[in-house]
Structure 1
């Protein structure tokens, strides 16, 4: 893609995520059946947190596109570096993780993650917007331009820190309300929950390494973007 096409792509996807972040939290806000969905805000749902994350990433990508045209590549190296770090360690792994885990559990037993009653409030297109479209958008970004990956130690450490932070959020909410964010946890023993969380991080780490492989396959060994010749 040309630089102009890349800019347009980032702008369109950014606006799509801005729309979703505004629209979805307002669905059924006055419905008693959706009280649990709105109680505690979006920070308890990884799906909604991921939508915020994607909006932030594509916002940074748009800013990077614009500033490169205005002030030049070398003068915005911090923004370019932050863009790459955000995508490689969080945006790509988490969007892919949400897609894989949600649809695996959904097709195994949807009551574990997305009970049928939600269909009365969330149209099919909203479900796919939250859980399906996130993957192709991330894949397109992965092959659209090269991204500088940090060292594996740093990248996996950042990803692990975010995993732990979200696990603490889930456990804290359960200790306060007695309700699990996702029904699947109610069917697991304490040991099962530990295994689930451990497997989730292993999957996330595998996705991170897969993203690095895709980047290398498409672009070869890449140097930091601001070090490239104009």
Structure 2
């Protein structure tokens, strides 16, 4: 019971942090309040924030069901969806946002986070969006055992979301002439293609890294929900 309480407190805290950050963006960040085509959803960071908020909100729901269920069991399909979402979307895209943002920031911050944004985005918000994503996910892997989906189903989900964002990005750039990331506009054809191919491969690497991390933490790629419930008890 103590393990469930600790896990629930962690999930609720992280969900609150992300929810507060999304609220702050929606009502206090000028760039998000000005009505422009696509709004804040032009950015992968915003997509990822929604992914992380949804995931930890789902974790809170599962914790609540488990706490008030007489047998302390959770519907298997709900847990399977949670595990699939973590494997296919929350973890790989969370890593892409953190690593790509800070890697490009280190080379030339003007490409991803111009200095003018320092007066718009408070430091804590920047770190919630681009830094704490990784430690929060690592804590999730450490404290909660997940059953990873088959690679076919997991990677399909990763590629589907990745391609969806790619098509959205290309539509904004070539049709609406809105280049979300300025450096893409100046890349020549071959480098332009290589950039996106490289990011697709990076997503696949991060998917496999999540699978491996889960195995390292728990000794196997995945387990039945019944085993997880026994461990919590």
> Could you state the TM-score of these two structures normalised by the residue count of structure 1?
0.91
Q: Which runs of 5+ in 2 are unaligned?
A: none
1:16 aligns to 2:1 (yes or no): no
Q: Give me the whole-angstrom Cα distance separating, in 1, the residues matched to 2:126 and 2:143.
A: 26
1:159 Cα deviation from its structure 2 partner: 0.4
RMSD (Å) for aligned C-alpha atoms: 2.1
Q: Distance in 1 between matches of 2:192 and 2:72?
A: 46
Q: Does 1:182 align with 2:181?
A: yes
Match of 2:26 in 1: 25
In structure 1, C-alpha distance between the alignment counterparts of 2:176 and 2:198, rounded to whole Å: 25
Kindly indicate whether residue 57 of structure 2 is the aligned counterpart of residue 59 of structure 1: yes
Other-structure match for 1:156: 155
Instruction: Indicate the residue corresponding to 1:86 in structure 2.
Output: 85
Contact 1:27 1:122 (C-alpha < 8 Å) held by counterparts = no
| Structure 1: gaps of 5 or more residues | none
Measure the CA separation in 2 of the matches of 1:4 and 1:108: 43
Is 1:216 the counterpart of 2:211? The answer is no
In the alignment, the residues of structure 1 paired with residue 182 and residue 123 of structure 2 have an alpha-carbon distance, to the nearest angstrom, of: 20
Q: Could you tell me the TM-score, scaled by structure 2's length?
A: 0.90
CA contact 1:68–1:76 (8 Å) conserved in 2:
no
Q: Hey, what does 2:94 align to over in structure 1?
A: 95
Supply the distance in 2 between the matched residues of 1:30 and 1:190 (Cα, whole angstroms). 30
Judge conservation of contact 2:145–2:228 (CA < 8 Å) in 1: no
The farther-off stretch of 196-205 and 177-186 is: 177-186
- CA distance 1:35–1:115, shift in 2 (3 Å): farther
Rounded Cα–Cα distance in structure 2 between residues aligned with 1:97 and 1:30:
23
Matched, 1:45 2:34: no
The alignment of Structure 1 onto Structure 2 pairs a total of residues equal to 227
